[in-house]
Amino acid sequence: MEWWQAVFLGVVEGFTEYLPVSSTGHLILAQRALGIEEGGAANAYAICIQAGAIVAVLGLYAGRLREMLRGIMGRDADGARLALAVVVAFLPAACVGLLAADAIDDLLFGLPPVVGAWLVGGLGILAVARWQRGRGSESGASLVELGLRGALVIGLCQCLALWPGTSRSLVTIVGGLLVGLSLSAAVEFSFLLGVVTLLAATAYKGFDAGPQMMQSYGPLALVLGTLAAWAAAVVSVRLMVSWLSEHGLQIFGWYRIALALVVAALLVQGVL
């Protein structure tokens, strides 16, 4: 892998990680477009450079994370409830992911399944956006009002994101809306849950296929990709929060549908 390819993939990862468009799907598309062969090393690289996006959210939401840490130490009741909610939401996807990791890699890490997930997810976003317009973007509960039952529902929704192309951000934001959170609270919880989920996925994939990835691409590619992902994620998260507060999710639905149709046409023509 050339250094510029690593930077490009890092930018793609960081910019799309917290948008409801699927960073994994975009990385698979970018890897194929760059001529990078699919396989264990490529899949591991797509997951491991998520570390940059994790660090971006750690910096942007440091205050909320400190609140959770104080809660774990028994110094903040709201922080303790939020930390427990994040753990409860994390567990379903962690369990399913461990049980189905090999099947996901073998069957779903490819462009045809990703295209299908893009299309279905795009239609789902348009449906949710229509419902959200009638509901009001900031109606609903605050983050500290999220209960464990609601957190579990969001966690079950996150299991859908194990299918590349679905988007972890999409299903967790929608899950938050379904359990009664306001849009801003659903987005923030999605980001916080993403820190734990992405950290676990990065650690697991790094342990499982890290040696193969390092042998194929080397440490420089990993460092460059991770740094680029961090920088792009900082920009992306700020833009997303600002955009959603004013315009909602609809644009991401149309984008996913258009991208699915374009990539499907390219696949039919044998370009990809």
**pLDDT reading at 163 higher than 90:** no
Nearest Cα to Cα of residue 92 among 13, 147, 47, 159 = 159
**pLDDT reading at 234 higher than 70:** yes
Predicted local distance difference test score (pLDDT) of residue 155: 95
More confident residue, 110 or 253: 253
pLDDT band at 249 (very low <50, low <70, confident <90, very high): confident
If one counts the domains in the chain, the total is: 1
Predicted local distance difference test score (pLDDT) of residue 134: 62
In terms of residue numbers, what domain contains 100?
3-268
Predicted local distance difference test score (pLDDT) of residue 34: 92
pTM: 0.82
More confident residue, 255 or 271: 255
More confident residue, 187 or 136: 187
**Amino acid at the residue 94:** A
Say what angle helices 3-16 and 50-60 make with each other, to 10 degrees: 50
What's the CA gap between 4 and 2, in Å, rounded? Answer: 6
| pLDDT single digits (tens) 29-73 | 999 899 988 888 888 898 889 889 888 888 888 888 899 999 999
What's the CA gap between 59 and 40, in Å, rounded? Answer: 31
Q: How many residues does the chain have?
A: 272
